[in-house]
Amino acid sequence: MTPYSELGKEELLKLKEELTLQYEDAKGKGLKLDMSRGKPAPAQLDMTMPMMDIFTSHADMKDEQGVDTRNYGCLEGIYGARRLLGEMLGVDPEHVIVFGTASLNVMYDSISRSYTHGVMGSTPWCKLDKVKFLCPAPGYDRHFGITEHFGIEMITIPMTAEGPDMDLVEEYVKDPAVKGIWCVPMYTNPLGITYSENVCKRMADLNPAAEDFRIYWDNAYCVHHLYDEEEKQDHLPEMLSMCKVNGKENMILEFASTSKISFAGAGISCIAASKDNLDWVKKSMTVQIISHDKINQLRHVRFFKDLNGIKEHMKKHAAIMRPKFELVLDVLEKELGGLGIGTWTKPLGGYFISFDTMEGCAKAVYQKCKDAGVTLTTVGATYPYKKDPHDTNIRIAPSFPSMEELKQCAELFALCVKLASVEKLLENK
Amino acid sequence: MTPYSELGKEELLKLKEELTLQYEDAKGKGLKLDMSRGKPAPAQLDMTMPMMDIFTSHADMKDEQGVDTRNYGCLEGIYGARRLLGEMLGVDPEHVIVFGTASLNVMYDSISRSYTHGVMGSTPWCKLDKVKFLCPAPGYDRHFGITEHFGIEMITIPMTAEGPDMDLVEEYVKDPAVKGIWCVPMYTNPLGITYSENVCKRMADLNPAAEDFRIYWDNAYCVHHLYDEEEKQDHLPEMLSMCKVNGKENMILEFASTSKISFAGAGISCIAASKDNLDWVKKSMTVQIISHDKINQLRHVRFFKDLNGIKEHMKKHAAIMRPKFELVLDVLEKELGGLGIGTWTKPLGGYFISFDTMEGCAKAVYQKCKDAGVTLTTVGATYPYKKDPHDTNIRIAPSFPSMEELKQCAELFALCVKLASVEKLLENK
């Protein structure tokens, strides 16, 4: 393949003509497909349906400790659920509180609580002139949405192949207005990479000026490998104990859920943190709610039993996700390999492939896909304030469409990348 | 019966001796009973167990509108759930958002959102020097807990037999710092009375100085009658339309849940309000969560089907609750009638009986009960800042204990009231 940048104006014009024809043809197909969000496919949800058999009208609804899950009480969640999610994160049940369905809500509440009441006795953020957050980007749009909602200034931290640029992070945390950093450390959204041991070590040994600085460790994809073979899986150190070794166990709040393990929006979620942090969380929580849905917690405990149960279940997810990732990667390689008009990640897990176009082409690709009936994640959404400084990043979410649909999506996407790139190159000829 | 107040010192001393003997005897029984919280009894929870058969591994998990309840989406809750809870409150589904399990959490979030972001564009409460709330009392301790948590000044509004003292309410809302009033309008916690038509009318036509003043209408017991006969049921006007008639539909936020209909802590909850208010709620909600547990919403819709299904189910609850209320009221009448040492309500619904001791006796009664193994709601909890100005009010929650246990509780309670009253009367002899 000849890289597009080596083509002359005439060649580019000819190419544009060919691609435009192909594109008009694709448009005519009347596609209506969605690759925008990390939604599990129906086939994945089907796999969890046996969970619906766990309880019948004659079921014993008491947990191992004798708690009647149908009644009020047990603010921290049933012990079995704390153990199950603790195992998944590699921490003791005593360091876990289990909530309702959404870890996003738990994160929102953590920020909101800090804003209204401060962190473990420090000044509430609403009383401060300025609060800043470090936002490794490209990152998870909903994280940035929370901090933006609370008027928190977001500082973009570039991502390297190993995780956030730690030189910058170490520098920025010297500012006492910097109160936190958003992290999706494993199979990160959208890059699909996992923070290296070195990045984790440096993260666990930060010296923030602010006593209420916290690492918001959203371990959303901690068991979401695409491959069963250990050597094809990323590995992430357990951070709570890493921070503890440095005497900094209060510096981290870890979040997780089973949204992409059991049911999206009907799983169980948790926070894992030091005793001091959990006490702080509980101080508001006890005002906020009597107890979360313990029936659903017990349903999950009886269904998965333990970490091994989760791992076995995740292999089934992988069997559905793996071919989808491979299909997209194959199409990208086949259609775009060697053209020099895009780079992309090849994740071993998670829900996303991250694609970078040539500078200034992402929006155009998005629009072209949209006009032809394929919705991508809104371009820019992976950056704070929805502003991608170079207009290059596109998050590809291959989970929801069927294989047949996905092939159409990927091919259309590649076509749009080519067309947008040619148009961009012609601008300068 | 001779009222205690007419007894002379000698008679009181003799009575004290007798009562003390009875009390020591009761203490010796080693009771360990709890009448403190409005928790459903296991027999009530058993009645909802058929809900656990609604879904099996082969169930159709799509709702009437084709929404796959197992996946993300549908922020406002599934339409069927909005219709079901709307019917229960007498409002259109369009005016309802269905949340997770806990209406308490929805109320907390409403206050928190007002504190951090203001109400529909008004100044966030955290930026104001002073925010005040009107708190009809005795009232629900967890309401007061929320306002106290946010540093909101609570103003006690005395309750009359018809509801809050509206003369005072109308006066206080002239203060622009007054931003809300907590109401449990039907079978109110703890009095068990229902606001009269007149009180509701005046409430729906308030002229608050603050544009962000809201009535926080916690309709927790809207279908919780003790008697099946209509003439033995309280009736509450539908407030959203009453406010609308006055052009004040933005003035009310109504809350409800199925916690005491299906499962306590595993039901579904809602807010009912004007379109403007719902838009304001959704503005934060869309940052906070992707969607609440739609599987549980659909489970409730399929189980109850409609308001009639809820009403039929509530008759079964009544069949369990009614004899408990009657038992306690019988014991109170038999043991304390005519003694002039206490008054109590005789509710037609809800979860509580409210008891008033002679001035300055409630704490003593609480302690005596506790020492003999019966836990009551913490005395004072029914007032803002947990301070009952006259030390008289005790909330009796008859739902959780069995009939046998309840009889022991009620008799011990009556005995403790007698003993504490005699001791109080002797102080002044």
Can you give chain B as a three-state secondary structure string?
Answer: CCCHHHCCHHHHHHHHHHHHHHHHHHHCCCCCEEECCCCCCHHHHHHCHHHHHCCCCCCCCECCCCCECCCCCCCCCCHHHHHHHHHHHCCCHHHEEECCCCHHHHHHHHHHHHHHHCCCCCCCHHHCCCCEEEEEECCCHHHHHHHHHCCCEEEEEEEECCEECHHHHHHHCCCCCEEEEEECCCCCCCCCCCCCHHHHHHHHCCCCCCCCCEEEEECCCCCCECCCCHHHCCCCCCHHHHHHHCCCHHHEEEEEECCCCCCCCCCCEEEECCHHHHHHHHHHHHHHCCCCCHHHHHHHHHHHCCHHHHHHHHHHHHHHHHHHHHHHHHHHHHHHCCCCCEEECCCCECCCEEEEECCCCHHHHHHHHHHCCEEECCCCCCCHHHCCCCCCEEEECCCCCCHHHHHHHHHHHHHHHHHHHHHHHHHCC
Could you tell me if residue B55 is inside a domain? no
ipTM for this model = 0.97
Search chain B and give the residue with CA nearest A68: B42
Nearest one of A365, A349, A364, A378 to A410, comparing CA atoms: A365
Among residues A386, A316, A353, the alpha carbon closest in space to that of A47 is found at: A316
Binary contact (A265, B59; C-beta < 8 A): no
Read off the pLDDT of residues A379-394 as tens digits, 9 standing for 90 and up: 999 999 999 999 999 9
Q: What CA–CA distance (Å, rounded) separates A418 from A415?
A: 5
Phi-psi region of B152 (alpha: psi -120 to 50; beta: other; left: phi over 0): beta
Query: CB-based burial of residue A297 (10 Å sphere; 0-12 exposed, 13-18 middle, 19+ buried)?
Result: buried
Q: Is residue A53 part of a domain?
A: no
Q: Cβ of A112 and B112 within 8 Å?
A: yes
Inter-chain residue contact B264 with A71, CB threshold 8 Å: yes
Using the Cβ of A145 and the Cβ atoms of chain B, whether some distance falls under 8 Å is answered with yes
Q: Which helix (H) or strand (E) holds A20?
A: helix A9-27
Strand ranges (E), A13-119: 33-35, 96-98
Option in A105, A145, A293 nearest B266 (CB): A293
- Claim to verify: residue B36 and residue B182 sit in the same structural domain: no
In a domain, A55, yes or no: no
pLDDT score recorded for residue A98:
98
Whether B296 sits inside 8 A of A293 (CB atoms) is yes
Which chain B residues touch A49 with a CB distance below 8 Å?
A: 57-59, 61
Radius of gyration from C-alpha coordinates of chain B: 23
User: A294 with B266: CB under 8 angstroms?
Assistant: yes
A374 occurs within a structural domain:
yes
What are the beta bridge partners of residue A61?
none
Q: Which residues from chain A sit within 8 angstroms of residue B68, using beta carbons?
A: 42, 45
Looking at the structure, tell me whether residues A200 and A102 fall in a common domain.
Answer: yes
Distance CA(B137)–CA(B385), nearest Å, equals 11
Nearest to A116 by CA among B172, B340, B150: B150
The rounded distance, in Å, linking the Cα atoms of B308 and B63 is 20
Three-state DSSP state, A323 = helix
Same-domain status, B301 and B316 = no
Q: What is the pLDDT of residue B109?
A: 98
Q: How many angstroms separate the CA atoms of A255 and A257, rounded?
A: 7
Whether A318 and A228 have beta carbons less than 8 Å apart is answered as yes
In angstroms, the separation between the Cα of residue B288 and the nearest Cα of chain A is 5
Q: Residue B383 is part of a domain; what is its CATH number? A: 3.90.1150.10
Question: What chain B residue is nearest to A148 in terms of C-alpha separation?
Answer: B287
CB atoms within 10 A of CB B174: 12
Q: Is residue A256 domain-shared with residue A282, that is, in the same domain?
A: yes
Residue B54: inside a domain: no
CB-based contact A266 B146, cutoff 8 Å = no
Q: Does A115 touch chain B (CB under 8 A)?
A: yes
pLDDT at A1: 77
Claim to verify: residue B101 and residue B220 sit in the same structural domain = yes
Buried b / exposed e across A70-95, counting CB within 10 Å, b at 16+? bbbebebbbbbbbbbbbbbbbbebeb
Q: State whether residue A265 sits within 8 Å of chain B by CB.
A: yes
Token pair of B111 as six digits: 């206050």
Whether A306 and A84 have beta carbons less than 8 Å apart is answered as yes
Which chain B positions have a beta carbon within 8 Å of A73's beta carbon? Answer: 39, 265
Cβ of A116 and B126 within 8 Å? yes
CB B146 to CB A292 under 8 A?
Answer: no
Residue B134 in any domain: the answer is yes
Please name the member of B39, B115, B149 whose beta carbon is closest to the beta carbon of A287: B149
CB contact residues (below 8 A), chain A span 288-327, against chain B: 288-296
Instruction: Kindly state whether residues A69 and A214 are assigned to the same domain.
Output: yes
Choose from A127, A293, A299, A399 for mutation: most chain B CBs within 10 A: A293
Which helix H or strand E contains A317, and what residues bound it?
helix A307-336
Task: Pick the last residue of a domain from A248, A270, A305.
Answer: A305
| B60 burial level (CB within 10 Å; 0-12, 13-18, 19+) | exposed
Nearest CA in chain B to A262: B70
Token pair, residue A19, equals: 């691609």
Note the pLDDT of residue B1.
78
Query: Is the minimum CB–CB distance between B66 and chain A shorter than 8 Å?
Result: no
Residues B17 and B71 in one domain: no
* Residues of chain A contacting B40 with CB distance shorter than 8 Å: 71
The answer as to whether B52 is a domain residue is no
Domain that holds residue B111: 61-305
The partner residue sitting opposite A265, judged by closest CB among B51, B71, B259, is B71
Say what the pLDDT of residue A369 is. Answer: 97
- Cα A172 → chain centroid: 23
CA–CA gap between residue B257 and residue B269 (Å, rounded): 4
Q: Tell me whether residues A104 and B288 touch, CB distance under 8 A.
A: yes
From CA A113, how far away is CA B93, in angstroms rounded? Answer: 31
Is the CB of A59 less than 8 angstroms away from the CB of B37?
A: no
From first to last of the 429 residues of chain B, give the pLDDT tens digit. Answer: 799 999 999 999 999 999 999 999 999 999 999 898 899 999 999 999 999 999 999 999 999 999 999 999 999 999 999 999 999 999 999 999 999 999 999 999 999 999 999 999 999 999 999 999 999 999 999 999 999 999 999 999 999 999 999 999 999 999 999 999 999 999 999 999 999 999 999 999 999 999 999 999 999 999 999 999 999 999 999 999 999 999 999 999 999 999 999 999 999 999 999 999 999 999 999 999 999 999 999 999 999 999 999 999 999 999 999 999 999 999 999 999 999 999 999 999 999 999 999 999 999 999 999 999 999 999 999 999 999 999 999 999 999 999 999 999 999 999 999 999 999 999 988
Last residue of a domain, one of A263, A288, A305: A305
| A375 CB within 8 Å of a chain B CB | no
- Answer with the one of A287, A305, A323 that is the final residue of a domain: A305
- Residue B248 backbone phi and psi in degrees, to 5: -125, 40
Q: How far apart are CA A59 and CA A69, in angstroms?
A: 11
B294-304 and B307-336 helices, crossing angle to 10°: 80
pLDDT of residue B429: 83
Q: Is residue A70 part of a domain?
A: yes
Q: Do A266 and B293 touch (CB under 8 A)?
A: yes
Residue B338 and residue B207 in one domain: no
- Same domain, residue pair A255 and A225: yes
Same domain, B131 and B22: no
Domain count within chain A:
2
Phi/psi at A367 (5° precision): -65, -40
Q: B49 and A57: CB-CB below 8 Å?
A: yes
| E strands present in A96-186 | 96-98, 132-137, 153-160, 163-164, 178-183
Mean per-residue pLDDT pooled into runs of 10, chain A (429 residues): 93 97 95 91 97 98 98 97 98 98 97 98 97 98 98 98 98 98 97 97 98 98 97 97 98 98 97 98 97 98 98 98 98 98 97 97 98 95 96 96 96 98 94
Q: Which residue of A has its CA nearest to B267?
A: A293
Shared domain for A237 and A319, answered yes or no, is no
Closest CA to B388 of B190, B104, B180, B107: B190
Q: Which residues on neighbouring strands pair with residue A136, listed in sequence order?
A: A157
Closest chain B residue to A45, measured at CA: B70
Identify the CATH number of the domain in which residue B160 sits.
Answer: 3.40.640.10
Task: Compute the distance between CA of residue B107 and CA of residue B183 in angstroms, rounded to an integer.
Answer: 12
Instruction: Say if the Cβ atoms of B295 and A263 lie within 8 Å.
Output: yes
Determine whether the interchain pair A72/B100 forms a contact, defined as Cβ–Cβ distance below 8 Å: no
- Specify whether A322 is located in the same domain as A300: no
Give the closest of A68, A105, A293 to B101, CB-based.
A293
